[in-house]
């Protein structure tokens, strides 16, 4: 306790630690916090020195929390949340946002836009903030009260302990390319052929990564020497326009692009990747009236889009 009272642990240490823990990466934490990667690394090193314990294991594909890191994360998140709430309560400086939504790419491409269209046409006067990012980051915001709900593919059961998940629909993983890609005209296509081209993969921490890795492993061991890890759908679309890359992504993210002919599906059997997409909320939270209405709008959008797909 004395180490915390001596003033050496600052809010910047805690925010940097939480970001790095939830994103499994110093680089992505630095980007999120708008600081340099060396500054983030230095901040984490300072915190480990103050606490006298390693908080992370540095591995090839990112950071992994140690047992003490897992323990400290719970207290760090609670401390930052309490500090923020206390400052807002005393100063009255907080900007009131009626609904704060965390959106994974699979929902932000088609479900959430239609839901917000329904919401805004209702005449309700409310401000909605949409926050995108990796699943672990959005769930950390949900636990801290910085978002009211998260819409997207269901995380692993251990990651949503204490949260409530409502299943809305299921979707598969897709392998997509530009409409002129050479693999579309190969008569005997096999998945190993994608190794000849740049492959866009979900990064560590992405909710679909374990599913993608299991699928690739089921097709045997083959080389993919030109991997690009990203959760940015805008970057991926731009990259596919300029290259012969293959993009591995949730089907819902690219459904509109495929329908419009801007992207095409490779003939890969991804039936085993079918997974639940839905709403994650705090188990015992009382949501505001606008947030509850937005939940109804999301359900309506899902039903509407499902009906269109059945009739297509």
Read off the pLDDT of residues 72-90 as tens digits, 9 standing for 90 and up: 987 887 777 677 666 655 6
pLDDT of residue 290: 85
Query: Per the structure block, which two tokens stand in for 105?
Result: 């790419």
H/E segment holding residue 210: helix 209-218
Angle at 203 between CA 135 and CA 305, to 5 degrees: 50
Helices 289-311, 111-121: axis angle to 10 degrees equals 120
Dihedral sign of CA atoms 185, 186, 187, 188 in order: negative
DSSP string, 97-149: -SEEEEE-HHHHTTHHHHHHHHHHHTT----EEEEE--HHHHHHHHHHTS-SE
- Averaging pLDDT over each range in 108-112, 151-155, 215-219, 305-309, which range is the top one? 215-219
Please give the helix or strand (H or E) that residue 70 lies within, else none.
helix 67-91
Can you name the residues that pair with 129 across neighbouring β-strands? 100
At CB < 8 A and 24+ separation, what contacts does 234-243 make?
236/200, 237/262, 237/263, 239/198, 239/200, 240/176, 240/177, 240/178, 240/200, 241/178, 243/197, 243/198
Which residue has tokens 């630095």?
A: 30
Confidence of residue 44 (pLDDT cuts 50, 70, 90): very high
pTM of the model: 0.67
Tokens of 81: 């949340």
Distance between CA 154 and CA 54 in Å, rounded?
A: 31
- Look at the block and give the residue holding tokens 């979900």: 202
Give whole-number Cα distances, 12 to 41, 42, 267, in Å: 12, 11, 48
pLDDT of residue 3: 46
Closest CA to 193 of 258, 272, 267, 270: 267
Q: How far is Cα 234 from Cα 126, in angstroms, rounded to an integer?
A: 28
The distance from CA 132 to its chain's CA centroid, rounded to whole angstroms, is 7
Which domains does the chain carry? 2-91 (1.10.10.10), 99-168+277-311 (3.40.190.10), 173-273 (3.40.190.10)
Model confidence pLDDT, tens digit, residues 20-42:
887 788 888 888 788 899 999 99
Is it the case that residue 2 has pLDDT exceeding 50? no
Query: Above 80 in pLDDT, residue 308?
Result: no
Percent of the chain residues past pLDDT 90, beyond the cut: 43
pLDDT at 75: 83
pLDDT of res. 34: 83
CA 258 to chain centre: 22
């Amino acid at each position: 306790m004395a180490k915390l009272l001596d003033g050496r642990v600052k809010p910047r240490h805690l925010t940097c630690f939480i970001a790095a823990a939830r994103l499994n990466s110093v680089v992505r934490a630095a980007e999120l916090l708008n600081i340099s990667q060396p500054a983030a690394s230095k901040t984490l090193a300072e915190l480990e020195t103050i606490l006298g314990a390693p908080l992370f294991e540095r591995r090839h594909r990112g950071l992994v929390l140690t047992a003490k890191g897992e323990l400290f994360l719970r207290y760090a998140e609670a401390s930052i949340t309490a500090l923020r709430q206390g400052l807002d309560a005393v100063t009255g400086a907080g900007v009131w946002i009626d609904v704060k939504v965390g959106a994974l790419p699979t929902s932000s491409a088609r479900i959430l836009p239609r839901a917000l269209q329904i919401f805004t046409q209702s005449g309700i006067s409310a401000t909605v903030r949409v926050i995108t990012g990796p699943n672990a980051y959005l769930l950390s915001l949900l636990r801290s009260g910085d978002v009211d709900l998260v819409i997207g593919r269901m995380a692993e059961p251990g990651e949503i302990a204490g949260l409530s998940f409502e299943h809305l629909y299921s979707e598969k993983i897709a392998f997509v390319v530009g409409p002129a890609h050479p693999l579309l005209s190969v008569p005997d296509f096999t998945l190993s052929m994608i190794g000849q081209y740049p492959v866009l993969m979900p990064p560590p921490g992405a909710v679909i990564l374990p599913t993608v890795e299991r699928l690739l492993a089921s097709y045997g061991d083959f080389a993919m020497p030109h991997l690009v890890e990203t959760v940015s759908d805008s970057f991926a679309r731009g990259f596919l326009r300029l290259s012969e890359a293959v993009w591995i992504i949730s089907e819902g993210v690219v459904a509109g692009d495929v329908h419009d002919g801007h992207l095409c599906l490779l003939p890969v059997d991804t039936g085993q990747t079918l997974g639940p997409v839905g709403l994650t909320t705090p188990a015992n939270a009382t949501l505001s009236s606008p947030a509850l209405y937005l939940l109804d709008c999301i359900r309506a959008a899902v039903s509407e889009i499902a009906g269109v797909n059945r009739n297509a």
